[in-house]
Amino acid sequence: MAPAQVWFITGASSGFGLSMAKLALARGDVVVATARKPELLTDLSAKHADKLVVIQLDVTSDEQIASAFAQGKSAFGRIDIVYNNAGQGVLGEVESMPEVMARNLFEVNFWGVVNVSKEAVRFFREENPSGVGGILLQSSSILGVEACACVPYYSASKWALEGFSEALAREIDPKWNIKIVILEAGWFRTNMTTRFVATPSHAAYTDPSSPAMLTRASIEHLELQDPDKANRAIFEFVQNIDTNDTLVRLPIGKDSVAATRRRIAMLSEIVEKYEKWSEDVVFDKS
């Protein structure tokens, strides 16, 4: 009998990825778990040898991505859900962050997402049985809704992810039956949240009352939410996704919902305040 669902998870060795792998297996699904350090999944693999395939994957490598998807198909025949979860976090002001560090962040958080997304869409369309399609879960963030001082490049990578995912969803032919869900998670107790890589403070931003320093101080004292509960919500959402939806943005966590409301209010205020500046910009054909 075919499994209920086949999950392909990136960044599956910790945090949201590991949590979802465990949940999917517990619910009777099968999992293609990918990670840069697959040895961290040895214990999980031993418990679920018949339902779990563990594959080493660097999401910045097109060749490794294609190979991982092919191995997933070889093991389970199809892939239903791709959880595009791999990522990294860095903390530091715009001026304190070395360019190489910022570029490396984008290689994983943006280009890694792009690489996996392209193969996922192709796979859903061309490798899965006709009409099956698939669901692509894109791990964005509350910081992809509301940017934050001292996390500029991480915020930018998530904003890029959101724009890319929205454009991709608009390109997809509805008959392919491919759904894209942008997951905008708030602050959760994961390795990324508790172990942000931080640069030394830039000298110009060391005033304790500055937004950058307040962010640095608050990171260690956030009321972090439960990633297992978040994944249970995501799992249930996937089971009940509206078949008419091509693109969904799903805030996860009360803080993310609040940030989304603030964003809506801010944009509404901008339109009301500045709409008059667009009243006389139509090209005069006379």
Which residues have a catalytic role annotated? 140, 154, 158
Torsion of CA 250, 256, 261, 266, to 10 degrees: -110
**Closest to 84 measured CA to CA, from 44, 160, 152, 135:** 135
Task: Indicate the burial class of 92 (C-beta count within 10 angstroms; 0-12, 13-18, 19 or more).
Answer: buried
Alpha-carbon distance of 162 to 169, in angstroms, equals: 11
Are 78 and 4 in contact, with CB atoms under 8 Å apart? no
Q: How far apart are the first and last CA of the chain?
A: 70
Alpha-carbon distance of 115 to 145, in angstroms, equals: 22
| Integer CA distances (angstroms), 230 to 9, 19, 93, in order | 16, 9, 29
Structure tokens at 113: 């997402």
